[in-house]
Amino acid sequence: MNYKVPCILLLISVSLYYLLSPAPPLSDEQLTTHLKDKVVLICGASSGIGEELAYQLAGHGAKLVLVARNQDKLDVVKEGVVKLGATDVQTISFDFSDVKGSSGVINQTIAWFGKLDYLVSNHAAMPNFAFLGSPYQQEPDFIERIFRVNLFSHIELAVHALPHLEASKGHMVFTSSMAGEKTSYRMAMYCSTKHGMNGFFYSLQQELMARESPVSLTMGAFGYIATKDLSQMMAGEGIKIPAWATGDVKECARGMIESYILRPPTMTYPKLYAYVNRALWYFHPSFHKTMIQAFKHPGSVGNGYQDSLHAADKKHEKAKELKFQQGYGPNEGEGN
């Protein structure tokens, strides 16, 4: 394999990134000065990045609205946030597959606090099985549900949040993924929705700039973040992610909070993983084949399509037991 070209391009792109990067990380004092008494709406707040955001924002005096499906988990996060000194914390139990109802999350926030300074749209569904080897993923109702959660509800939140954010000169952060820039074997549904997110919200960034709007928007181009739920899912699948490619959830949340002030168009994290992936994906064709081989499982191959489905059906029971990010997946009765 000839890695000379991608390695050179990677070195150039990383060097330029660090040379042209915005200001260095902000101090705790700077964050507290900026965030105290600001109203932050966090969607997907009962676990993972959203939960960690809530804890860190509480330490800076922000007023919080925490949204997720599972009220019991929200109550646990709220208890932790209050212990950290937060005095103004509200929770909303809501399923973002109800796209039209998403506007109610914004309306309730305004009813409680009279304003909105920051929107963090972080909820997601993460089906993690080969599309052709997973019969449930091929059902139209399931496909539509994943798009409602991963794309349409984010758009609905942005539409209804914008008037309030313009009044406060606020900021929006949308959690996307490296899966929105390239594709991954076994993640067709997730990748397609993240590509849709990137297409819509990067275009919306341009519209906001053209309007000279006081509202700015950051897209989170995230790789693998070692949240508890995602780590369990990977372990259940026997997938091991090397340390250099693994992002720390606390560091990721801190970077998102800093983006409220620095307002970059994109927050890339973890940086090394992202730039290696981008360079290899676009400039080294054999990288695609290497990734496919690394993630093959018994349900993905067979003497024919029906043999593949038969093998996958046996794994479907295992799929039901997995905890998908933010609780959206085959296990409809559980999750966040």
Q: Exposure of 309 by Cβ count < 10 A (0-12 exposed, 13-18 middle, 19+ buried)?
A: middle
CB-CB contact of 66 with 92 (8 Å): yes
Q: Active site residue: 18, 118, 190, 273, which one? A: 190
The whole-angstrom separation of Cα 308 and Cα 298 is 8
Q: Exposure of 120 by Cβ count < 10 A (0-12 exposed, 13-18 middle, 19+ buried)?
A: buried
Instruction: Please provide the DSSP assignment of 99-136 as one string.
Output: TTTHHHHHHHHHHHHS---EEEE-------S-GGG-GG
Q: Which of 17, 8, 12, 4 is nearest to 270 (CA)?
A: 17
CB-CB contact of 223 with 270 (8 Å): yes
Decide if 17 is catalytic.
no
Residue with structure tokens 């995230």? 222
CB-CB contact of 256 with 173 (8 Å): yes
CB-CB contact of 68 with 125 (8 Å): no
The whole-angstrom separation of Cα 65 and Cα 45 is 9
Q: Exposure of 238 by Cβ count < 10 A (0-12 exposed, 13-18 middle, 19+ buried)?
A: exposed
Q: Which residues belong to the active site? A: 190
